């Protein structure tokens, strides 16, 4: 199995609880909160651990909350690679209204990075990135980090002969599409992001695949993956276009589906799978994750069961 490194620049100490009703002005009596170490790259590393792998997780932490974060991280099925910054690691807070079932999520910004920290992180990542392995950049960026950070990282990974999987959104994603940006190895988008970037709605999977091929022709990425929720995912590599979907599952929570996809997808590739097999594992892991409560990720046994009869079709 090839080495895997996940990158989390903007982790969050996630706290979740519930109350009978969420209403303004009143004091809301809540259940004892659950505290977890959150962040896209960390969740991807967890999913890899759930599949039986062992990823190293590069994570930027700071302050007292950062130490609390690290304490929780040391119990996870991953190997932390800690990068210290100034300020305080951010927190997020989720409250579920037990009457309506609605969840209210409050997310604070991370500390604003300095120019020196931006230089230092590139050097740190160069030291710990696996030679000829896989690197996953997932999640948001803290304030102060340049929007073209994914392109800078992609250029550096070529020096290490490592393969980068990018799963981000917003301005950093838009920067990846600009002329002159370094080509990504694998670029993953969801349906909303892809339509926003394309500036049009997609009527069917063929139109989605056409846009993915357009991005490849523009030298944005070598491989493009589009997540379409319950309709599965599309992967385009060169002239090869595949669509995969599992049998229907009963959704409980969508939280963690994307990170589970990326984790199982990368784990499968690191174990020598071809693109279509990795795609099947990704959609199976995403389907497994939506059947779990809260922030739970994919379950290995369920993933293997869903992979067994997952649909895989050429487009």
Residue 123 structural domain: 4-314
Strand partners, 163: 134
Q: Identify the pLDDT of residue 201.
A: 85
Burial class (CB in 10 A: 0-12, 13-18, 19+), 137: buried
Q: Which two tokens stand for residue 106?
A: 């409050």
Q: Find the helix or strand (DSSP H, E) in which 47 lies.
A: helix 40-50
Give catalytic residue positions. Answer: 259
Mean pLDDT per segment of 10 residues, for the chain of length 315 residues? 90 91 93 90 96 96 93 89 94 90 87 95 92 93 94 85 90 84 90 79 87 91 92 93 95 87 97 97 96 87 96 93
List phi, psi (to 5°) of 192.
-65, -45
CATH number of the domain that 35 lies in? 3.40.1190.20
Q: Looking at residue 192, what is its pLDDT?
A: 75
Residues in the chain: 315
As for how many domains the chain has, the answer is 1
Torsion of CA 275, 280, 286, 290, to 10 degrees: 170
Secondary structure of 236-255 in HEC code, one letter for each residue: EECCEEEEEECCCCCCCCCC
Residue 10: its pLDDT value, please? 95
């Amino acid at each position: 199995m090839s080495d895997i490194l996940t990158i989390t620049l903007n982790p969050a100490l996630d706290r979740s609880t519930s109350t009978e009703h969420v209403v303004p002005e009143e004091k809301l009596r809540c259940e004892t909160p659950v505290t977890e170490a959150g962040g896209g790259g960390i969740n991807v590393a967890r999913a890899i651990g759930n599949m039986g792998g062992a990823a190293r997780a590069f994570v930027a932490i700071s302050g007292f909350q950062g130490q609390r974060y690290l304490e929780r991280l040391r119990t996870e099925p991953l190997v932390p690679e800690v990068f210290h910054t100034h300020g305080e690691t951010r927190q997020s807070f989720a409250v579920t209204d037990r009457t309506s079932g609605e969840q209210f999520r409050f997310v604070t910004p991370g500390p604003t990075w300095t120019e020196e920290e931006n230089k230092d992180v590139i050097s740190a990542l160069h030291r710990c990135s696996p030679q000829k392995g896989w690197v996953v950049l997932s999640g948001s960026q803290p304030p102060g980090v340049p929007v073209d950070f994914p392109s800078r990282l992609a250029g550096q990974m070529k020096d290490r002969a490592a393969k980068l999987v990018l799963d981000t959104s917003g301005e950093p994603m838009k920067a990846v599409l600009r002329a002159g940006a370094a080509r990504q190895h694998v670029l993953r988008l969801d349906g909303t992001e892809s339509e926003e970037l394309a500036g049009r709605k997609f009527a069917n999977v063929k139109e989605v695949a056409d846009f993915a091929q357009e991005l490849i022709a523009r030298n944005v990425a070598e491989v493009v993956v589009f997540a379409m929720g319950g309709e599965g995912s599309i992967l385009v590599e060169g002239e090869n276009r595949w669509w995969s979907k599992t049998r229907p599952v009963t959704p409980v929570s969508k939280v963690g589906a994307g990170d589970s996809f990326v984790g199982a997808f990368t784990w499968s590739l690191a174990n020598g799978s071809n693109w279509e097999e990795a795609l099947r594992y990704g959609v199976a892991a995403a389907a497994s994750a939506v059947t779990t409560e809260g922030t739970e990720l994919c379950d290995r046994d369920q993933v293997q069961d869903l992979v067994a009869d997952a649909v895989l079709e050429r487009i």
